[in-house]
């Protein structure tokens, strides 16, 4: 099945808020994520819960899409830390009830980060100095939805591929260290 993203999800904008020192809720911003969409560090509470509408609180499985700037990525919110809200740097994407049994949030994350999806989104960005991807463009993204088992298989293959890339990086680093050590030893 192929559908527009807006058919299967609810897209809402992140929240604009001023941070504070003694908060209860984390305020997720683009700087909190690495280039692969993983949180860089443990979240710190920066907002007061009593000042945040419940609709802005993130739920496990929500997909965050960084829509502003040149670093556009999707990340999944996992409730491993304190409660959180997304800043205006993000769109919060929540799978509609009718599709929760048909689409895995992790698959949606994977699909949105694929080069073909990124090309479509970046190709329809607006602005010059600070580019952004409008909500309407995000909603127009065409997504292929295979069965759940195939989604799981795709995610497993992707995870194994990422592990392979990391192992290759480690091997390259060890080879570099060995060569540098051999060169240094030859100077003695």
Q: Please tell me the predicted confidence (pLDDT) of residue 81.
A: 65
**Same domain (yes/no): 102, 18:** yes
Give the model's pLDDT for residue 117.
Answer: 94
With bands split at pLDDT 50, 70 and 90, how would you rate the model's confidence at 100? Answer: very high
The mean per-residue pLDDT over the stretch 154-180 comes to 95
Q: Could you list the residue range(s) of the whole structural domain that residue 117 is in?
A: 2-145
Same domain, 123 and 157: no
The upper half-sphere exposure of residue 95, i.e. CA atoms within 13 Å in the direction of its Cβ, equals 21
Mean pLDDT estimate for the chain: 89
Greater confidence, 39 or 66?
66
Q: Which two tokens mark 87?
A: 């800043």
Cα distance between residue 44 and residue 47, in whole Å: 9
pLDDT digits (tens, 9 = 90+) for 20-59: 778 888 888 888 887 777 776 677 778 877 778 888 889 9
For position 176, what pLDDT does the model report? 94
Residues 75 and 167 in one domain: no
Tell me the average pLDDT across 164-178: 95
The verdict on 78 and 107 lying in the same domain is: yes
Give the pLDDT of residue 50.
Answer: 75
Distance, in Å, from the CA atom of 157 to the CA atom of 150, rounded to the nearest integer, reads 10
Using alpha carbons, select from 112, 85, 104 the residue that is nearest to residue 23: 85
When pLDDT is averaged across residues 67-77 and rounded to a whole number, the result is 87
Beta carbons within 10 angstroms of residue 56's beta carbon: 17
Selected residue with higher pLDDT from 121 and 53: 121
Give yes or no: residues 124 and 179 share one domain: no
């Amino acid at each position: 099945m192929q559908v527009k993203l807006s058919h299967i999800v609810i897209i809402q904008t992140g929240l604009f808020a001023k941070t504070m020192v003694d908060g209860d809720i984390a305020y997720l911003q683009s700087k909190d994520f690495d280039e692969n969409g993983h949180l860089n560090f443990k979240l710190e509470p920066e907002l007061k819960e009593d000042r945040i509408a419940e609709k802005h609180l993130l739920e496990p499985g929500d997909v965050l899409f960084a829509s502003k700037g040149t670093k556009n990525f999707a990340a999944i919110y996992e409730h491993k830390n304190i409660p959180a809200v997304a800043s205006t740097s993000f769109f919060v994407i929540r799978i509609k009830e009718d599709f929760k049994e048909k689409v895995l949030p992790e698959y949606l994350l994977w699909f949105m980060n694929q080069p073909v999806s990124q090309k479509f989104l970046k190709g329809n960005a607006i602005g010059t100095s600070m580019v952004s991807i409008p909500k309407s463009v995000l909603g127009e993204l065409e997504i292929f939805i295979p069965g759940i088992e195939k989604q799981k298989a795709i995610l497993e293959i992707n995870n194994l591929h990422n592990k392979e890339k990391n192992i290759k990086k480690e091997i390259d680093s060890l080879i570099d260290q060995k060569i540098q050590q051999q060169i240094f030893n030859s100077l003695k």
